[in-house]
Amino acid sequence: MASELNNSRKAWSVLIVSTLAFTVCFMVWMMFGVIGIPIKKMLGLNATQFGLLTATPVLTGSLIRVPLGIWTDKYGGRIVMAVLMAITVPAIWMMSYATQYWHFITIGLFVGLAGGSFSVGTPYVARWFPKNRQGTAMGVYGAGNSGAAVNKFVAPVLLVAFGWAMVPQVYAAIMLGTLVLFWMFSHSDPKHLVPSNVSFRDQLKALKDPKVLKYCQYYSIVFGGYVALSLWMVQYYVGEYGLDIRTAALLAACFSLPGGVLRAVGGVLSDKYGAHSVTWWVMWVSWICLFLLSYPQMDFTLLTVNGPSTFHLGLNIYAFTGLMAVLGVAFAFGKASVFKYISDDYSHNIGAISGIVGLAGGLGGFVLPILFGALMDLTGIRSSAFMLMYGVVWVSLIWMYWTEVRRTEVMGRHAAV
């Protein structure tokens, strides 16, 4: 009894301190979403260049996820997370001294390593809990995505008061302090490690399963889309509605905050109703929101019997923010439900599989902001970003219908016969 109580305390301690560490890592990962705006003005960047600037940290944070997940299976989440956080501190600090575009791109690649923390913490915290509570545990940990919203609260205040260069300096100090707290209150358990005779190739065998590719596609929209929009929304509000950076960041947080915090609720729902049911509804809600968000501001003229009549069609700032908040909630639930699929299907290989699915989601977060910028430069329509994401959600819905919904219907008819 005493042993079970001690393990439970350790489990919750690991979950809490890991979630804190992930929140700080995600805050750093999304840093360019705010400080990128004055840097864009300083360097005279176009929309495509700005998209690349904001997406660069996402690239390395995505590519590193597979090896980090495997190393977590092999060596344990405590040591891997601590080393990862320690490596990023000097790079974050150096960002404040960058003056040219290539400086920001190069240093951003190293800062982006912080984004790989997701593939460390997910298997690390999951193994401290029984299977019927792993969805909840991973959902709570994944709520660290709210670091994107924290960035929108903290960075504008520092930016307005001291200039953009102060932001990475403060973030480096926060990362260092969080590293100390993480090491003090986290724990390790040798029983959670993959046996030493399991090779790198053995861990990757499960990736041949076509289900993994499907989960990657789902995650590329619910997580990749979340990351991309978290980076893009502040400048979208500034350009589309003419807001100052502080007000724009506050409204953008209406998407980022529920999109992060409510991931824990998505984990609870996934444990209760199953990964498929939650993901299916997430995709439909996302489809509706993105359809409405895709419409650009427009004026059109009708020739009536009384002469020409001009009408305006477009979302005002209140409707736009409301739809973004709903989309954030849907993405939060979807991020949790996709990883519930993984814990159900790959309970002995969570690190490797979560790494590859996380990689796909992260690459979505890298590619989408660049495409957002390219589409805006090409068409001049800001809402083209939502048009692109609307198409990606269509792919998910069709894939899910044919591989899950349709198959279930066919199996049900065969069983009835």
* pLDDT score, position 180: 95
How many residues in total does the chain contain? 417
* pLDDT score, position 198: 55
Q: In the chain, what are the domain boundaries?
A: 2-189+202-416
Distance CA 50, CA 394 (A): 27
* pLDDT score, position 75: 86
Distance CA 34, CA 374 (A): 20
Distance CA 192, CA 186 (A): 14
Which helix (H) or strand (E) covers residue 304, if one does?
strand 298-304
Give pTM, 2 decimals.
0.78
- 98 close to 53: Cβ distance less than 8 angstroms: no
* pLDDT score, position 416: 42
* pLDDT score, position 397: 87
pLDDT along the chain (417 residues), means of 10: 66 91 92 89 90 88 83 87 94 93 93 88 85 79 84 88 92 95 86 63 66 86 89 88 88 85 82 87 93 86 83 85 93 88 75 77 87 90 91 88 66 44
Topology (CATH) of 2-189+202-416: Growth Hormone; Chain: A; (1.20.1250)
Distance CA 120, CA 68 (A): 6
Backbone angles phi, psi at 382, to 5 degrees: -65, -35
User: Which 8-state DSSP code applies to residue 113?
Assistant: G
Torsion of the alpha carbons at 411, 413, 415 and 417, rounded to the nearest 10: -150
